[in-house]
Amino acid sequence: MNIKKIILLFTTIMGLCLGLSSCSSYRAVLARDDEKYGEARFQNIIDALENKDKEGIKKMFSSNALKEAKDIDGGIEYLMKFYKGKLVSKEGAYNASHSKGDGEKTITMKYFYMVTTDEDKFIVFFIDKVYDKKNPDNVGLYMLQIIKLSDREKEFDWGGDKTRCAGIYRPEDNKK
């Protein structure tokens, strides 16, 4: 084998190694399973509600969402009183939003569940930032909304202009 081929082979292998190692920060992002992540977060929310675990709910929020939220403790208290019953069934959907502002990647997920308990029917909706390279204090729940299924038309817009807020969505907070 001549020396030029050896150098070319070595350079190619080194280039591949460097290229793959520079992508290591994205491996975790690419390897995640959005549906399983959402299911786990949903189950943690339901468990905390059914067990009246106020601190458990609070710990799920990102530190920045807690700073931005208006009366997070009052919002959690509201949810504890509002959500009734034990989970019987659920149907869910999710939406991923990827952005790359200032060269830094973020991934925000929106999860929607129609929930039936042994006492009522609800929508459980949450916005969860699962990755923020530039600001890890954004990672965690941003918004949690639980409404009665019967109020879907007037109280739900996928966290858009009508309902988006940091912390717990409460209809009375959004009345103008």
- Token match 């990672």: residue? 139
Instruction: Check: CB of residue 173 under 8 Å from CB of residue 165.
Output: yes
Q: Does domain 33-174 have CATH number 3.30.310.10?
A: no
pLDDT at position 40 is 94
pLDDT at position 4 is 57
Cα–Cα–Cα angle for 153, 54, 121, rounded to 5 degrees: 30
Instruction: Check: CB of residue 107 under 8 Å from CB of residue 98.
Output: yes
Handedness of CA 75, 61, 38, 133 (dihedral sign): positive
pLDDT at position 23 is 45
Phi, psi values for residue 62, rounded to 5° = -65, 155
Q: What is the pTM of this model?
A: 0.79
DSSP 73: H
CB atoms under 10 Å from CB of 16, counted, come to: 10
Q: DSSP string spanning 103-120?
A: TEEEEEEEEEEEEEESS-
pLDDT at position 53 is 97
Instruction: Check: CB of residue 142 under 8 Å from CB of residue 128.
Output: yes
Q: Walk across the sheet containing 104-117 and list its strands.
A: 87-101, 104-117, 121-132, 140-148, 167-168
pLDDT at position 118 is 97
pLDDT, tens digit, for every residue of 95-135? 888 887 776 888 999 999 999 999 999 999 999 999 998 89
Rounded distance between C-alpha atoms, residue 9 and residue 2, angstroms: 11
Q: What is the residue extent of each domain of the chain?
A: 1-31, 33-174
| Distance of alpha carbon 52 from the chain centroid | 21
**pLDDT (tens digit, 0 to 9) for every residue of the chain, 176 residues total?**
566 555 555 455 555 554 444 444 444 444 458 888 899 999 999 999 999 999 999 999 999 999 999 999 999 999 999 999 999 999 999 888 888 777 688 899 999 999 999 999 999 999 999 999 889 999 999 999 999 999 999 999 888 888 899 999 998 876 54
